[in-house]
A and B are shown apart, each in its own frame.
Chain A
Amino acid sequence: MLKSKSRLRLIVVQAMVVSLFVTLFARLWYIQVVSGDGYQAAAQDNAVRDVELPAPRGLIVDAQGRPLVANRTSWVVTVDRDVLERLGATTQTAVLRRLAEQLGLPRAEVERRTRTCGEEGAPKPPRCWNGSPYEPVPVAEDVSQVLAATILEQTEDYPGVAAEARQVRAYPSPFGINAAHILGYNSPITQDELEAAEGHGEPVSPSSVVGRAGVESSYNRYLSGASGVREVAVDSMGRVIDEAAQTMPKPGQTLVTSIDAKVQALAERELDRSIRVARETFDDVTGRNYEADSGSVVVMDATNGRLVAMASYPQYDPNVWVGGISDGDLERLYSERAGTPLLSRAMQGLFAPGSTFKPVTAASALSNDYKVTDTLDCSSSLTVGSRVFKNYESAAYGPLTFAQALQLSCDTFFYRIAYAEWQRSGGDSGDTSIKDVLVEGAKAFGFGSKTGIDLPGEVAGRIADRRWKLSYWKANQDYYCKLGKEDGMDFLHIFAREFCIDGWRYRAGDAVNFAIGQGDTVLTPLQLAVAYGALSNGGTLWEPRVGKAIVNAQGRLVRRIAPEVAGRLPVTPGILRYLDQALLGTAKVGTMAWKMGGFPLDKVPIRSKTGTAEVFGKQTTSWVASYDLQYVVVMQISQGGTGSGTSGESVRKIWEALYGIDGEKVRVADALQPGAQPPRGLPTFHRNGSISPPPFDEASPSGGGDASTGPGDASPRSLDEKAR
């Protein structure tokens, strides 16, 4: 009985075995025959991997062809987490420990660096890895070649770890220039950018870098080139077992800028020196030395808006961005205590222009209700409404012409004009559609709107007109009305109460302050340079340009970056000539005269205007704006003291160097730029990689003279021939 039972059950077992194995065979048939195509495609995908061949980024050279930004080889250690995770916990730990020892880092730090952005414990962007977690993650950059060789040779000790040579930015820094604010920096592409760029069919990859500021950003599409791809057959550990197709990378193109390294270096040095001097100068008003927290210098070609130099203080070392910036460095760049070095004061700093604004007021006045023959009283003070507005140091000069008023920088002269214009245009009526003559004139000079420079991040500044006052009041009335209800008779509380009631009014005080570049009107040093450039060139407002041309890797011209006209001043040539002559006098008999003794003004006639702008709660901003027919030089130092006193000497030094002035002699041969003018042609790029400066045509007119030069570029013969 038991036997037959067990025999029966054996049959059941047998049936089960058969059914299980039939199932296996059915499944095998299903995978291999029914859905075989799909698995064969997956197998193909598995074994072939694309290896990116990064393109070297294009050079950035100055007007003479001196490299400002080049490339160098940097050894990068990467970790492939995908491979590492498959090794099991013990091996993984051992590999990371070994690697950390080699790198001289704690193991936890190496592990942290393998995390992608957004993961717990990952470093902050842009330090963290932005790419896919299945791509090798860089954990150490700029390691020694010896270390790289160790990792490459002992692959069995370092599974999933690789060392590769990458091209990173190098800064040859000719003549010691920094120019970080012009050049900008790069950082790895973000996931969003990558998706967007891929959507447009642009040649990007997760390891691409993108220009983030300066010309690196604005000319990124020329500089970046296109990376190549090598298709390789790989095994399960990602080791290459066979090579397939290959697309060569397309190197980035070269950007020729109009910057001259020599002038840039000088501008940076002089800015630095003046700031150091100012910090040792005592300020009578505040009773302490000048802070001189920041400053800038702009040197521009007045004939076409091309920038020759643009310095900003404080600077930063662009190398901090190379191979990924550290958290500490990044914090410092944005830190207010360190003076926010990332900010380019020349185009991102907003300052009241002070007296350098007076030529603008003068141009508007002369274009509307005044004649060049008019004189106005330069009294020691002027009462406007209930307030007394004083002249600088309460000086009184009696009746002055516009020219004299500009040279001596008389405030009350311009107060009178502003007060009269304000009354004429309807006083403090709330009508924001009223066109105030002086405000409209300032707008025509380009203030309150961006200059259109080919660098990202420029700010527009603002003109404190009726419309602005109303919007400012609307935005802040709640705060001030609340403040006004508190007890207190100090300035702030009194101001708050007044502001709460009718802070929107464009008062006479606002109008007179505006006329001398004080109050709430702020602008960038670059905007001032463009405006003075228009005074120099007969009324054309040029969009400032840093880029001059794009040249491909073979040295052929790809694209010429033409100067562009942003607008024309609505000022007659006669008035412009009058203002031009008036500003010539500043250096001879005006506020700059004490700094220009012995300068050969007859050979290099410098027109200039100084400015000492008062800033609420801070020390005065020092300004000097100057030009001749070739260049505009603007210098500004925040909390730096008086215009001529702090910046005058440096501005003179820059002019001297631009023309090769030695004492009273002008030696054009010693000028920083050959012929004392920006080169019209482009550098020649030779097949062997060397670069020679643009040809200098002795016959071309020297910028120092009064010979008028047209805008636009003369044809640079050398390069045109090459291009053909």
Chain B
Amino acid sequence: MAMTATVATSRTARRVHATEDRSTWRRIDWVVTLSTLALLVVGSLLVWSATAENEALTGGDSSAYLNKHLVNIAIGLTLAVVIAATDHRWVRIWAPAVYLCGIVGLALVLSPVGAVINGSRSWILVGGMSIQPAEFAKLGAVAGMALLLAERAEARRARSALRSWEVVAALGIAAIPAALIMAQPDLGTMLVLSVTVLGLLSVAGAPKVWLVGLVGGAVAVAALAIQFGVLKGYQLLRFQAFLDPSLDPRGAGYNTTQARIAIGNGGIFGQGLFDGSQTQAGFVPEQHTDFVFTVAGEELGLVGAGAIIALFLALLWRAVQIAARSDDMFGRLAGAGVVCWFGFQAFQNMGMCLGIMPVTGVPLPLVSYGGTSMFASLMAIGLLLNIHLRSERSLGLGIILRDRAARSRRF
């Protein structure tokens, strides 16, 4: 509906609009779209349930957070549709801009504009809104690296393997936001970014030596960081409490223990939405943001929480296919980047709720409350849809690929 209207703004689309209206509609990837919409609906209900009774948070208006969440979704969906409908060349042109925006945002966080929440300087407060630029930076890094590696691959006519200096350049693109994120420090986002970069390089065809070296290097750096006390006390405690929550049941282990109790209390069918005793009493901290999965666990049970896992799996399965089908290197790498990002962040988030991953504050994409995360996630979904549309189109119009490849050689 809105989709067709927006598609009409693109010049390419306008060209095919009159004749291919129905097929455009059909070319939209329904698995990605529907699983995204389903996660958004479930997420809204969970955020509503998690905050309705929390008067300290809502100030008495039980739907205050639901309303804000719906506004975030609306903005996010608009961004997604715009990106999905934009000509992919424009996406490639805009990619460096997104990347730069992310870096400027991260730099601002460290400036006096930044605010410290929960021990991390990760936020910019603008007119009562808190923005977390690290979320955009992940998208920016994915787009930026995909662009660079795609340009290089196309320059080499996709024949030879990735060269080392190209790997270093790609790493350099990731290193700037990574350094800024570490300075906050935001360990969770750093972890997600690292896995994403690794996945992206791997799909880009980086030599195995590099991949193994990077993993080994990361482990060594982590060991050194712990050794020399670079990590903050609470960060170490979180990791220790992850290994043994009984170490400090009221402090660092509190979140882990309470999260597990809430999920365990759900059983197979759950306590029912708005009826979870742990959720409604607010025993799990941050249950509308980072620990939103515990609300699903308690109130919707194995059935509901399992459905969320299944929806993510469906979304990511399809995303891998989209990346694989894309003949365009940028699309493939961006798709793979989004898969690694979403896949690992969702696993990390649900894993920490379930006590199989340490507690690091990353939101559950598309589900957790939080505007920046929502915008970035939906923009990534938009990017996936864009890539899909592009490859669908290219199947029918092979000439465009050759044409674009010829043109890009002139760059």
Contacts and interface: CB of A to CB of B under 8 A. Distances in A.
Interface of A: 1-3, 5-7, 9-14, 16-18, 20-21, 23-25, 27-29, 31-33, 35-36, 38-40, 42-43, 46-47, 82, 85-86, 88, 134, 156, 233-237, 241
Interface stretch (B102-110, B276-284, B366-374): B276-284
Contact of B320 (A13, A23, A43): A13
A196 B99 CA distance: 67
Contacts of B350: 24
Interface string B312-334: 11001100100110000000100
B278 A46 contact: yes
A284 B320 CA distance: 112
B313 A2 contact: no
Given A2-B205, A17-B313, A28-B305, 16 more contacts: A1-B161, A6-B203, A10-B203, A10-B323, A14-B317, A17-B320, A17-B339, A20-B347, A32-B268, A32-B301, A38-B264, A39-B261, A86-B250, A236-B284, A237-B56, A237-B282
Nearest to B158: A2
Given A2-B205, A5-B205, A38-B264, A43 B277 contact: yes
Contacts of B277: 43, 47
B159 interface: yes
B127 to A, nearest CB: 22
A49 B97 CA distance: 55
A6 to B, nearest CB: 5
B19 interface: no
A237 B285 CA distance: 11
Contact of A28 (B158, B204, B302, B336): B302
Given A43-B277, A85-B251, A241-B281, A32 B118 contact: no
B263 interface: yes
9 contacts: A2-B205, A6-B204, A10-B203, A18-B313, A21-B347, A32-B267, A33-B267, A43-B277, A236-B285
A29 B344 CA distance: 20
Interface string B244-270: 000000110010001011111111100
Given A17-B343, A33-B268, A86-B254, A3 B203 contact: no
Contacts, number: 160
B365 to A, nearest CB: 13
Contacts of A38: 264
Nearest to A43: B265
Contacts of B56: 156, 237
B160 A28 contact: no
A32 B266 contact: yes
Interface residues of B, number: 61
Contact of A9 (B158, B203, B351): B203
Contacts of B203: 6, 9-10, 13
Of B159, B262, B306, B324, chain A has the most CB atoms within 10 Å of the CB of: B324
Nearest to A19: B347
Contact of B264 (A16, A43, A134, A156): A43
A85 B234 CA distance: 13
A28 B350 CA distance: 9
A16 B316 CA distance: 11
A7 B312 CA distance: 21
Given A25-B306, A28-B354, A32-B268, A14 B278 contact: no
B382 interface: no
Contacts of A134: 250
Given A236-B282, A241-B281, A28 B263 contact: yes
A29 B265 contact: no
A235 B282 contact: yes
Nearest to A27: B354
A21 B285 CA distance: 24
A31 B10 CA distance: 50
B340 interface: yes
A18 B336 contact: no
Contacts of A39: 260-261, 263-265
A40 B266 CA distance: 8
Nearest to A237: B282
Nearest to B278: A43
B309 to A, nearest CB: 5
Contacts of A40: 264-265, 267
A302 B316 CA distance: 97
Nearest to B303: A32
A109 B33 CA distance: 60
B82 interface: no
Contact of B158 (A3, A7, A43, A86): A3
B250 A82 contact: yes
B114 interface: no
Contacts of B261: 39, 42-43, 46
Contacts of B251: 85
A452 B260 CA distance: 60
A649 B102 CA distance: 97
Contacts of B305: 28, 32
A9 B205 CA distance: 8
Contact of A2 (B160, B267, B301): B160
A668 to B, nearest CB: 69
Contacts of A42: 261, 264-265
Contacts of B339: 13-14, 17
Residue of B264, B332, B350, B354 with highest tally of chain A CB at under 10 A: B264
In the A-B complex, the 5 residue pairs with the smallest Cβ-Cβ separation, listed nearest first, are: A39-B264, A43-B265, A235-B281, A236-B282, A14-B320
Contacts of B363: none
A13 B281 contact: no
A32 B202 CA distance: 36
B261 to A, nearest CB: 5
Contact of B297 (A17, A32, A236): A32
Contact of B343 (A20, A32, A35): A20
Nearest to B281: A235
B223 to A, nearest CB: 24
A21 B278 contact: no
A134 B250 CA distance: 9
Contacts of A85: 250-251
A235 B283 CA distance: 7
A11 B321 CA distance: 9
A28 B351 CA distance: 9
A24 B349 CA distance: 10
B347 to A, nearest CB: 4
B307 to A, nearest CB: 10
A47 B262 CA distance: 11
A32 B302 contact: yes
Among A9, A24, A38, A237, which residue has the most Cβ atoms of chain B within 10 A? A24
B212 interface: no
Q: Which of A1, A18, A46, A241 has the most CB of B within 10 A?
A: A46
Contact of B263 (A14, A23, A31, A241): A31
B302 A33 contact: yes
A234 B282 CA distance: 10
B199 interface: yes
